[in-house]
Amino acid sequence: MLWIALASFGYAFLHFVWYWQAPFGISPVLDSRESLLLAEKIASGTLEKEPFYRAMLYPFLLSLLLKARFSASSCL
């Protein structure tokens, strides 16, 4: 049973190593980029007062990381 867990973690680690070097892992695109832009606006207090038609929990949590002085590139 332990070897199954170790093999799974090893496979996941190798996948993440590959993904960090892939184009989508290097810079955020589409939804990730939009979430980071919203998080930066929330963190800086410049968010527009308009209705949102999307879930805002993830950008809010990212904004907490940005307020704690994490860079935007390390949030993803």
Q: What are φ and ψ of residue 55, in 5° steps?
A: -75, 135
**Among 5-9, 25-29, 44-48, which is the least confidently predicted range?**
25-29
SS3 state at 22: coil
Domain boundaries along the sequence of the chain: 2-74
Spatial CA neighbour of 76 closest among 21, 47, 36 = 36
Please give the Cα distance from 47 to 6 (Å, whole number).
44
Model confidence pLDDT, tens digit, residues 36-75: 899 999 999 998 888 878 888 999 999 999 988 766 555 5
Which tokens go with 52? 């949102």
